[in-house]
Homo-oligomer: A and B are copies of this chain.
Amino acid sequence: MERDAVDFPVSVVLPAAGSGERTGLSTPKQFCTFLNRPLISFTIETFERIPWIERIVVVVAKDSYDPMLHIIQQFHHAKVKVVEGGTTRHRSIFSGLQAFSESSNGPVLPRPKVVIIHDAVRPFVDEEFLLKITLAAKEHGASGAIRPLVSTVIATTSEGFLDHSLERTKYRASEMPQGFLYEVIYQAYQRCSEFDFEFGTECLHLALQYSGINAKLIEGPPTLWKVTYKRDLAAAESIIKESLSLSACLISGAMAETVELSSRLQRNLESHHMTTGVNLFETEEMLKVFVETKHALLYPVVIVWVHVCMSDSAIDEELNAVMELSMKVKQENILLYGVQIIFSKVPELWERSVTRLTEITESLIRDRNPVLIGQMLRV
């Protein structure tokens, strides 16, 4: 990646004042939570991780101003300024742009060379694509993401009949992010009409009409999609969960089998952290490390405590200890689960148990189900 090519200031405007009526939910989509964190915080995190992005202006509705400040604080977002938006998308974007020029919301932010405009409800944009958009905006004055059309687009008559269908290959869906030389888009908004503010949908169109700039269009990946309908919340959750790997298996039991089990599990569950010979009472100390290093600030950490036993005799002491400890660390965004595995000298039986343990552990890590914390599952 040619990150070094960005030797000029870049900032972001993130309109988030929409009411999200298309999901049919009472909470606007950008504030729906996934793993205890609002969607907008995931989008902000995406931009904050990129070193060449300086500031992120989040534009929210009046009622969301204080809740948004709270989110910024809770998840330690350091690059964000929150401003109040207008009644339409274009008015909100203009409010965001004004934060770099004129201000009734405190000090003016340093003016960027290029400003990226994105949506709060598109959390999965990656650095590589943002780089393309940014460099194209610098070169051509404006740039925008496009995607192939999923459906045929048709024109309708006023009586609701088919007039004609468009040739799919000539058209594209205009998506976000878009990039602009700050002066180009700021000028466009200063000059545009009330009608544009009220009914316009496309910043690229304003740049063309009021600043004479034909935007460079760049085909983006399918992950640019916008969380629009209720079903998209499930899709977003599954993508977020798939991207997570913060989890650890702690394996207890004094036997040689514990070590062997650990290396088996390590192979089966790539990229997860294994520790052996940890009794439950030492586990608590380890959990503190996760909390102190802020590993659990943005994403819940999963800990699976695996207990190897010699028989299926009751382990009431461990049962209660796991439950208690899990309740305690839940506050710290750590999800603790227990699994009891009974050792067998018969290789086939042991093999089957290890397979079951892998399946259960994978499922616990993937689902991150808070309702099941503290349970002691059996293999």
Q: Does residue A377 face the partner (Cβ distance < 8 Å to B)?
A: yes
**Cβ–Cβ contact A238 & B228, under 8 A:** no
**Cβ–Cβ contact B378 & A377, under 8 A:** no
Interface residues of A in 328-373 (CB under 8 A from B): 359-360, 362-363, 367, 369, 371-372
Q: How many copies does the complex hold?
A: 2
**Cβ–Cβ contact A316 & B314, under 8 A:** yes
Map CB proximity to B onto A210-238 as digits: 1 under 8 Å, 0 otherwise.
00001111100010011011011011111
Map CB proximity to B onto A193-224 as digits: 1 under 8 Å, 0 otherwise.
00000000110110010000011111000100
**Cβ–Cβ contact B228 & A239, under 8 A:** no
Q: Which of A217, A231, A236 has the most chain B CB atoms inside 10 A of its CB?
A: A231
Q: What residue of chain B has the Cβ atom nearest to residue A236's Cβ?
A: B231
9 inter-chain pairs at a CB distance below 8 angstroms, sorted by A residue, are A146-B154, A146-B156, A152-B201, A154-B171, A156-B171, A162-B215, A164-B205, A231-B236, A375-B377
CB-contact partner of A152 in B162, B202, B238, under 8 A: B202
CB distance from A344 to the nearest CB of B (A): 15
Interface of A is mostly: mixed
Interface residues of A in 265-303 (CB under 8 A from B): none
Known interface pairs A150-B226, A150-B228, A165-B202; 8 further A-B residue pairs with C-beta atoms within 8 A, sorted by A's residue number: A142-B162, A152-B174, A153-B173, A154-B173, A168-B201, A234-B235, A234-B238, A323-B378
Map CB proximity to B onto A166-182 as digits: 1 under 8 Å, 0 otherwise.
10101111110000000
CA distance in complex: A205, B172 (Å): 20
**Cβ–Cβ contact B153 & A215, under 8 A:** no
Interface residues of A in 105-152 (CB under 8 A from B): 140, 142, 144, 146-147, 149-152
Q: Does residue A160 face the partner (Cβ distance < 8 Å to B)?
A: yes
**Cβ–Cβ contact B150 & A162, under 8 A:** no
Q: Which residues of B contact A372 (CB under 8 A)?
A: 360, 363, 377
Q: Does residue A22 face the partner (Cβ distance < 8 Å to B)?
A: yes
Q: What residue of chain B has the Cβ atom nearest to residue A160's Cβ?
A: B217
Q: Which residues of B contact A152 (CB under 8 A)?
A: 173-174, 201-202, 205
**Cβ–Cβ contact B238 & A154, under 8 A:** no
Map CB proximity to B onto A311-329 as digits: 1 under 8 Å, 0 otherwise.
0101010011001000000
Q: Which residues of B contact A371 (CB under 8 A)?
A: 359-360, 362-363
**Cβ–Cβ contact B162 & A208, under 8 A:** yes
Q: Which residues of B contact A312 (CB under 8 A)?
A: 316, 319-320
CB distance from A286 to the nearest CB of B (A): 24
Given contacts A161-B217, A205-B165, A375-B378, contact A155 B170 (CB under 8 A): yes
CB distance from A53 to the nearest CB of B (A): 24
CA distance in complex: A363, B371 (Å): 7
Q: Does residue A376 face the partner (Cβ distance < 8 Å to B)?
A: yes
CA distance in complex: A166, B152 (Å): 14
Given contacts A160-B216, A162-B214, contact A154 B204 (CB under 8 A): yes
CA distance in complex: A35, B375 (Å): 24
Q: Does residue A157 face the partner (Cβ distance < 8 Å to B)?
A: yes
CA distance in complex: A239, B359 (Å): 24
CA distance in complex: A225, B239 (Å): 19
CB-contact partner of A232 in B168, B204, B235, under 8 A: B235
**Cβ–Cβ contact B229 & A225, under 8 A:** yes
Q: Which of A22, A152, A168, A225 has the most chain B CB atoms inside 10 A of its CB?
A: A152
**Cβ–Cβ contact A153 & B153, under 8 A:** yes
CB-contact partner of A216 in B161, B222, B234, B360, under 8 A: B161
CA distance in complex: A229, B239 (Å): 12
